[in-house]
Amino acid sequence: MLKVYEEVNTLDKRCYDKFFLSEDLLMEQAASSMYSYINKKFKKNKTILIVCGTGNNAADGLALARMLYTKYDVKLYIPYELKSSMAILQEKRVKALGLKIVSYASSCDILVDCLFGTGLNKPLDDTRKTLIDKLNRLKAFKIACDIPSGINIKGQIKSKAFIADITITMGALKSSLYSDAAKDYVGKVIVSNLGIQREMYEIEDNNIFLLEKKDMKLPFRKKNNTHKGLFGHLSVIVGEKEGAGIIAGNAAFSFGAGLVSVITHKELSLPNHLMQSHKLPLNTTAIVLGMGLGNFERNEIKNILSKKVKKIIDADMFYDEMILNVLKDDVVLTPHPKEFVSLLKLTKMYDININELQENRFKYIYEFSKAYPKVTILLKGSNTLISKDGKILINRFGTPAMSKGGSGDVLSGLIASLLAQSYSSFESAYIASLAHAIAASKYKKNNYSLSPQDIIDEVKKL
């Protein structure tokens, strides 16, 4: 897991105060990291257009131009009056070299966006929106300095934003890079060191972390002397739309659950490995309910929710007040945005719409998890967030191929399988989320064709 910060100004200030590193030195390191990336990736004499704004993001770009000058054909475009003292100083250094400043954004091989950075605090005016549109239309490899221009510190895009192939962010990862809105703009994200190693720079406490592939601890069976009862018995509550529960049951069985029972009053045609029952087996170690629940008998749901067994709750349950009965328990909740909005309303925490949630995902999941510290909540999205008691994990590995009916049912089954196998609720949620997303990303056919069974098949190969 990698540390993620909402802002890094306090980390920069610590460098100034404790390590006697000046703002100028940190800026030189930022520019040098961009220079190193360009120097490794591109041959000399390529045309590089660096577009600068007015503040310290512009200063980084000006320092970069100085470092690239003569090895590359550098065009420096400064459409607005420089305001920060560092930007003005860096401009003096550039002009002393004889580097000419161009009067418009023209064609290039490499385009570096140094317009606004994380300091953007108001909507863009028409002139700036037109400029970003023009930059996005240029056929070049696009690099964003720190954060693509147009994305603010909350990860919101109020009008336009620069679409980068890569974002070289300074010092540490920022949560603004991992909003759902930002995912189509940031490209690959790499971190630039600013004169000290990251473990020394990232010394401040934080509550947000970026998941890595190595955080996925799969339920491999290492002991030989075992039997199916040692790997849990999952009960899947199958409701009105039985397909959802069957998908979850199949996913759970494929992810290591020793036994999977489908609980329903219908007579279903099930795969041979799924058992069917009208009531919860006594040896149930985890329960999953909510997906496809529909008009399932309410007294039965109430009885199931009262069982002192690990639970994952999904889908239809987020519109039912009965969910309030388990929010003091160690449960896993897996809402998509519309369902989370409903849950916030049921708890009387917030009455908001989906747009408000999506623009402030980190805020609302944090506040919910602090209000209900025993609950693990997984908020689905382009970047899935998993939180418990204020700690937030980001899963960035999701793909658009997963935007299909049944994908969420697979996820519920994977989480439930780990719960049944005695993983903690928090581990079950983030490990299954990683397995789900990484499996989907390995699918080799056209991304519009991914099915729930395809995800399950890929999970088997992890």
Within 236-347, residue ranges assigned H as helices are 242-254, 298-306, 337-346
pLDDT digits (tens, 9 = 90+) for 337-364: 999 999 999 999 999 999 999 999 999 9
pLDDT over 90 (residue 204): no
DSSP string, 206-220: -SEEE--GGG-----
pLDDT over 80 (residue 295): no
Q: What is the mean pLDDT of the chain?
A: 94
Q: Which residues, including other chains, have CB under 8 Å from residue 370's CB and lie 6 or more apart? A: 389, 390
Query: Is the CATH number of domain 2-205 3.40.50.10260?
Result: yes
pLDDT over 90 (residue 172): yes
- Compute the average pLDDT of residues 372-392: 98
pLDDT digits (tens, 9 = 90+) for 56-84: 999 999 999 999 999 999 999 999 999 99
Residue type, 344: L
- Compute the average pLDDT of residues 130-142: 96
pLDDT over 80 (residue 307): yes
* Fold agreement between 2-205 and 214-459: no
Residue spans per domain, the chain: 2-205, 214-459
The reported pLDDT for the residue numbered 347 is 97
- Compute the average pLDDT of residues 241-258: 95
pLDDT over 80 (residue 146): yes
The reported pLDDT for the residue numbered 239 is 85
d(CA 305, CA 237) in angstroms, rounded, equals: 11
The reported pLDDT for the residue numbered 393 is 98
What's the predicted TM-score (pTM) here? 0.94
CATH superfamily of 214-459: Ribokinase (3.40.1190.20)
The reported pLDDT for the residue numbered 237 is 95
For CA atoms 125, 131, 133, 135, the dihedral sign is negative
Are the C-beta atoms of residues 62 and 95 closer than 8 Å to each other? Answer: no
